Amino acid sequence: QVQLEESGGGLVQAGGSLRFSCVASGRTFSPYEMGWFRQAPGKEREFVARIYWNGGSTGYADSVKGRFTISRDNAKNTVYLQMNSLKPEDTAVYYCAGRNTWKNAYEYWGQGTQVTVSS
């Protein structure tokens, strides 16, 4: 079983930056893909970014493209999300997640970490 632990959330002014870390533990951790999602109050959870664990290819939601960067450190079982030029509409709970094959939905999730961007 895989556990994900996120850190790095907080309160920031518009235009500021934050960096999330998500550390995976569990002896079976060998993901196909890791991703970040977010859920704003009253809204559905939405995709933010993803990275293939082997190879490192990335993908982003249009709303964050050019501002957010996802990366990973395979040796540390850690995935990061660097968020720059933050906007009030980025305010949400952010979740780290992973899946072991492309056929599956995301199988394991972190507990979520709050980001609040003030205008």
Low-confidence ranges of the chain (pLDDT < 70): none
Query: Could you tell me which of 77, 109, 115 has the C-alpha nearest to residue 4?
Result: 109
Per-residue pLDDT at 91: 97
Distances (CA, A) of 84 to 8, 33, 49, 72: 13, 23, 14, 17
Distances (CA, A) of 97 to 14, 31, 85, 86, 107: 26, 10, 23, 21, 7
Per-residue pLDDT at 30: 85
Per-residue pLDDT at 55: 84
Largest Cα span, the chain: 43
Per-residue pLDDT at 28: 78
Q: How many CB atoms lie within 10 A of CB 69?
A: 16
Report residue 91 as tokens. Answer: 């305010």
Residues 6+ apart with CB under 8 A from 52: 32, 33, 58
Per-residue pLDDT at 80: 97
Per-residue pLDDT at 103: 87
Query: Could you tell me which of 40, 30, 41, 32 has the C-alpha nearest to residue 61?
Result: 40
